[in-house]
Amino acid sequence: MNQVQAGMTRSQVRYLLGTPLAADPFTKDRWDYIYYLKKGRTGHIDTRRVTVFFDGDKVASLTKPSDAVAAEQEKSAAEIKNGRIY
């Protein structure tokens, strides 16, 4: 996610993030990437959504979780990995 920057081409974004999960057939200038992971016994769910907006063939803007939200999710995942939460 952090590698995607304004001005990149659609091909470059697809190389970095893969095929978008949801490509709106009516708005060709928007790609949505949705990440969902549910941990086994803990039931912890980690979700993230990234939306890439294009102007023609170039990235115009990117919407992603704030650094604070991403850090909290990473902390929560690390606590589960270390066996502190069940």
CATH number, domain containing residue 77: 3.30.1450
The answer to whether 79 and 85 have CB atoms below 8 angstroms apart is: yes
Question: Tens digits of per-residue pLDDT, 32-76?
Answer: 888 777 777 767 777 778 889 999 999 999 987 666 766 676 676
pLDDT interval class at 24 (50, 70, 90):
confident
Residue 17 confidence (pLDDT) above 80? yes
Domain containing residue 29:
10-81
Dist CA 18 CA 23 (whole Å): 12
Q: Which pLDDT value is given to residue 86?
A: 47
Whether this prediction's pTM lies above 0.75 is answered by no
Q: Kindly state the tokens that stand for 53.
A: 């907006």
Q: Kindly state the tokens that stand for 4.
A: 């995607």
Task: Give alpha helix (H) positions in the chain.
Answer: 10-17, 67-81
> Does a structural domain hold residue 34?
yes
Secondary structure of residue 58 in the 3-state scheme: strand
Secondary structure of residue 5 in the 3-state scheme: coil
Question: What is the number of structural domains in the chain?
Answer: 1
